[in-house]
């Protein structure tokens, strides 16, 4: 009998692809999503409604979202979402009929300026009209909080700051707050300490873990967050992605690796490990480089 259940949020199509040098076509992205859905994926990011001048990888987000919602219109069964940075992005997303968006804030001032060209306070001011419009139109909002465990410009990030910002996002109306180790510096002690503080101000069921595997600690950190009570984790097929501000960053933790670990713990993910590994082998040649997933390379043990 399974010991528990987790929700895996597939971020490969957005957070994964946005930092890749190879640009996949709309059709390639749609085919990737269809394969992910066939492997059991129910919750996924489709893209981002941002300026293609700043993030060219996301230029096809509207076209892709239209395709996805046409094929998978039941948004209660298939939870598709897009990232929006401001009201303009929200209006573009709303034209597709999507019922979930994500907003993002930083835990450090310098990262906020480098990433979205404004202060933390200014970013929250931008969120206010977004939240108002979303509420009026019954659109769910997920909040991302980046560099929660360390900043490439400022170094250590005070836990108190992360807790304060997460609480603020929750009070604004975000149904879930994803706590990000954007540059992959977190250690298990940090994860234990921070999530124990976070769950005092935000219900643990409303918190998610978003770990990058830059230093090979992502699975250990996910396991630690699970022990604290976190049941939602972001991951990217094949470990796609990276961070432009972290030299050598290998990107998000790979979906296959996360599922393999939870399978071994008898924790239900709803995802088929063999199909995920097949996707890895299909995707790798299209990305023009080796994917970082360990399990994706070798699969599970079969006798």
CA gap 243, 180 in Å, rounded: 12
* Known catalytic membership, residue 148: no
Ramachandran quadrant class, 184 (left: phi over 0; alpha: psi -120 to 50; beta: rest): left
CA gap 34, 171 in Å, rounded: 35
Residue of 148, 151, 174, 243 with catalytic role: 243
Torsion angle of alpha carbons 222, 280, 72, 66, nearest 10°?
100
In the chain, at which residue ranges do the beta strands (DSSP E only) sit?
A: 4-5, 7-10, 43-48, 79-83, 100-106, 140-146, 176-181, 207-211, 232-235, 267-268
Pairing mode, strands 4-5 and 207-211: unpaired
Rg over alpha carbons for the chain, rounded to the nearest Å, is 18
CA gap 238, 277 in Å, rounded: 8
Q: Report the first-to-last Cα separation within the chain, whole angstroms.
A: 23
The CA distances from residue 290 to 91, 186, 187, 298, in Å, are 37, 24, 26, 13
CA gap 204, 70 in Å, rounded: 34
Query: What count of other Cβ atoms lies within 10 Å of the Cβ of residue 128?
Result: 11
CA gap 12, 41 in Å, rounded: 12
The residues that are catalytic are: 243
């Amino acid at each position: 009998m399974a010991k528990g259940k987790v929700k895996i949020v597939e971020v490969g199509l957005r957070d994964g692809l946005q930092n890749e040098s190879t640009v996949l076509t709309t059709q390639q992205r749609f085919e990737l999503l269809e394969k992910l859905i066939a492997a059991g994926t129910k919750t996924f990011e489709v893209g981002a409604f941002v300026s293609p001048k700043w993030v060219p990888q996301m230029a096809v987000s509207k076209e892709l979202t239209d395709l996805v919602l046409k094929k998978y219109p039941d948004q209660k069964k298939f939870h598709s979402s897009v990232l929006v940075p401001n009201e303009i992005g929200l209006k573009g997303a709303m034209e597709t009929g999507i019922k979930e968006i994500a907003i993002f804030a930083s835990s450090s001032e310098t990262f906020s300026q480098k990433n979205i060209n404004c202060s933390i306070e200014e970013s929250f001011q931008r969120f206010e009209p977004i939240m108002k419009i979303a509420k009026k139109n019954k659109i769910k909002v997920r909040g991302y909080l980046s560099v929660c465990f360390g900043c490439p410009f400022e170094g250590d990030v005070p836990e108190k700051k992360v807790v304060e910002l997460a609480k603020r996002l929750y009070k604004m109306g975000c149904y879930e707050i994803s706590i990000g180790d954007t540059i992959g510096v977190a250690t298990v002690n940090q994860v234990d300490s921070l999530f124990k503080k976070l769950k005092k101000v935000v219900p643990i069921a409303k918190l998610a873990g978003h770990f990058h595997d830059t230093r090979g600690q992502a699975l250990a950190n996910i396991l630690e967050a699970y022990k604290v009570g976190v049941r939602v984790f972001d991951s990217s097929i094949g470990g796609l992605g990276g961070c432009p501000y972290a030299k050598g960053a290998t990107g998000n933790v790979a979906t296959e690796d996360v599922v393999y670990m939870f399978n071994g713990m008898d924790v239900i993910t709803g995802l088929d490990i063999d199909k995920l590994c097949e996707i890895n082998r299909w995707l790798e040649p299209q990305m023009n480089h080796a994917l970082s997933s360990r399990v994706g390379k070798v699969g599970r043990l079969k006798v």
